[in-house]
Amino acid sequence: MAHAIDARPPPHAGALVAEMRRWRGLVWGPQEPQIVLEDISLQSPPDAWPAVIRLDYRIGDRRGRWEEPWGEELDVGSVEAAANLWLAIVHIHLMDLTEPRPEHVEAAV
């Protein structure tokens, strides 16, 4: 049985991060400490893929910065779908933390 090859281009990184930026200021709580998404920015060129995305966040009063390339995991179709998937991944990684990861604290200074 032949499988169709998905010929969709990856999401445009600039458009993807523009869609993600609507979550700046998002607060996850009511637990303490609350997690706040302070900024989301593109660190690679707008047409580069994988995209290097930076998330500046705060847990309580401690700041963290998570920056890494995102590629295949966000190659899911529309820009909106990719942005929503990214937020779900970030939420899973941060929701159980009581403070930023040490490498995220170091990157934030």
pLDDT number for residue 30: 74
> How many Å apart are CA 94 and CA 78, to the nearest integer?
24
What number is the average pLDDT over the span 97-103?
A: 93
pTM for this entry: 0.86
Region 83-90: mean pLDDT is 95
Amino acid, single-letter form, for residue 31: Q
Cβ–Cβ < 8 Å for 10, 75: yes
Beta-carbon count within 10 A of 55 CB: 23
Quickly state the pLDDT bin for 55 (edges 50, 70, 90). Answer: very high
One-letter amino acid of 83: A
pLDDT value of position 58: 96
Q: How many residues does the chain have?
A: 109
Give the 3-state secondary structure of residue 84: helix
